[in-house]
Chain A
């Protein structure tokens, strides 16, 4: 069975602070994809990043960066210099390469205060 755990229910930061969102996953698959989605108050899930299980290279994209560690089954996401517009619910998700469904965590509410 696949499972995604986001232990942080809610995080509050002040604008310009860096913030890291944690994600731990469980899967028996050897090949899979990991995703981060953002859900603003409008409700629409917005795709942010995707990593595959055989590429542990960590990258930076603008203010976003991620740390994928297969040995600890973690896929953490960092926002640098947070802005008020980053306030949203962030979901980590897992997808088998053979399957069709995304398995989501419970989400982390991020509040960025000015």
Chain B
């Protein structure tokens, strides 16, 4: 049973550039959430996708956008990168039918460094 996978593992970008991070959910899951974890802090919710639509969004600017594909995989796009966007980006998947009780399974993350 494949767990949540993310690519790439590490990424280095320059200020002002754009980046795309990818996530494949755990087998059987239909919902994908993205979190940003700055060094020494807890993860912060960016947004969640279900049925290819954004269900809920955290306090992140419009530079952060996403997409979910028919196979439930997802992408996180960040435009006009800032130094402060350097963080570990975590993807989590869950099953919407389990409602609020369903735990979110996390991937290993993508470490983004902006120079």
Q: Which residues of A contact B (CB under 8 A)?
A: 4, 32-33, 35, 37, 42-47, 50, 52, 91, 93, 95-107
Contacts and interface: CB of A to CB of B under 8 A. Distances in A.
Contact of B100 (A37, A43, A99): A99
B42 A104 contact: yes
A43 B99 contact: no
B104 A102 contact: yes
Nearest to B55: A100
B97 interface: no
Given A43-B108, A45-B106, A97 B42 contact: no
B41 A101 contact: no
B95 interface: no
B35 to A, nearest CB: 8
Nearest to A50: B103
A50 B105 CA distance: 13
B8 interface: no
B49 to A, nearest CB: 10
B109 interface: yes
Interface of B: 31, 33, 35, 40-45, 48, 55-56, 58, 88, 90, 92, 99-101, 103-109, 111
18 contacts: A32-B100, A33-B100, A42-B108, A43-B90, A43-B108, A44-B108, A44-B109, A45-B43, A45-B90, A46-B106, A47-B103, A96-B100, A97-B99, A98-B100, A100-B48, A101-B33, A101-B48, A104-B42
Given A33-B101, A99-B56, A100-B33, A107 B106 contact: no
A35 B103 contact: yes
A101 B45 contact: yes
Given A43-B90, A45-B106, 4 more contacts: A91-B42, A101-B45, A102-B45, A102-B92
A49 B103 CA distance: 9
A43 B44 CA distance: 15
Contacts of A35: 103
Given A99-B56, A99-B100, A100-B56, A47 B105 contact: yes
A26 to B, nearest CB: 15
